Amino acid sequence: MVKILLDPSMYHPHLTVAEECQKAADLGYEYIELSPRADFHEWHHYPKVDDAEIAKVKKAMASTGVKIWSLNPVYNWASPDEEERQHQVRNFRRTLEIAQELEIPLIATEYSGDPNQPVRSENQFYKSIEELIPEFESRGLECAVEAHPYDFVETNDRAVQVVRGVNKPWFNYQFCLPHMFHLSSGSYDARSMMEYAGERLKHLHIADGFNHLANVGNRYIINPPGVDARIHQHNEIGNGEVPWGEVFDYLREINYDGALSVCVFGWEEEADAIHIRMRERLEAEFR
């Protein structure tokens, strides 16, 4: 049976992690995917959570019955700059310690690196993985990685190939639906991307988005023209162009039993209602 996770990003400015456990329970969720926040694990920074806060989170998980199933750190472990890469590997090591302490089984992360230096970034990525393999394996942790827009790899098939290159059963692919138009250069064929991942498909991010390449690329206008930037959204299902019928049909066909992480961002004024509707939709599709 699939696990439906809440990414509580829209509550980060107002709630502690312990309070987010209660919020998840109030919204009907049993699991959390904890995305970056300044007081816990932060984008590209060394984690700031201490033993006292970890104890509070443990107590909150026990009292609410909500489990943090995955951490979603973003560290530039593929940085072309060697000193920076070493710093980011250190950040990762501390995050793995925290995951083990909280009995969190999964790290859901990104490739990072520099799309303008893809070969050097890929080499740095594999160097970091080699250093971290003993850490993952000694702690019994799994990892799923996605190709985020502006990572050194930005397309679905190449991202899966890099995963295969690691060649570890616990290191797999994370398919992020709101990024699918970046992953496919504007294709609506989600099925073929998931089929290509095959048995490496172990984690999904669930949110909608519009095809930024549709209408001759004028769906969104970025100035100045040609700027080296990426644009996408994390919207509620139905507020975008992801082919959800195709996605859910395929997942049922393969009896997918991994995690589905609800990661809608940027709609704080409707956060509770959106998260309830998202949960109910996924439950209707898979239970």
| Alpha carbons 173 and 56: distance in angstroms, whole number | 31
Write out pLDDT tens, residues 212-255.
Answer: 777 766 777 777 877 777 778 889 999 999 999 999 999 999 99
Distance of alpha carbon 50 from alpha carbon 206, whole angstroms: 30
What single letter denotes the amino acid at residue 150?
Y
User: 169 phi and psi, to 5 degrees?
Assistant: -65, -25
Q: Which 8-state DSSP code applies to residue 208?
A: B
Does this model's pTM top 0.85? My answer is yes
State residue 287's pLDDT score: 80
> For residue 212, what are its two tokens?
């930024």
pLDDT tens digit string along 78-89?
999 999 999 999
- Beta strand residue intervals within 159-277, DSSP E: 171-176, 201-206, 259-262
Query: 153-208, pLDDT tens digit by residue?
Result: 999 999 999 999 999 999 999 999 999 998 998 788 999 999 999 999 999 999 99
Q: Hey, what domains does the chain have and what are their CATH numbers?
A: 3-286 (3.20.20.150)
Mean pLDDT of the chain: 95
Q: How far is residue 96 CA from its own chain's centroid?
A: 16
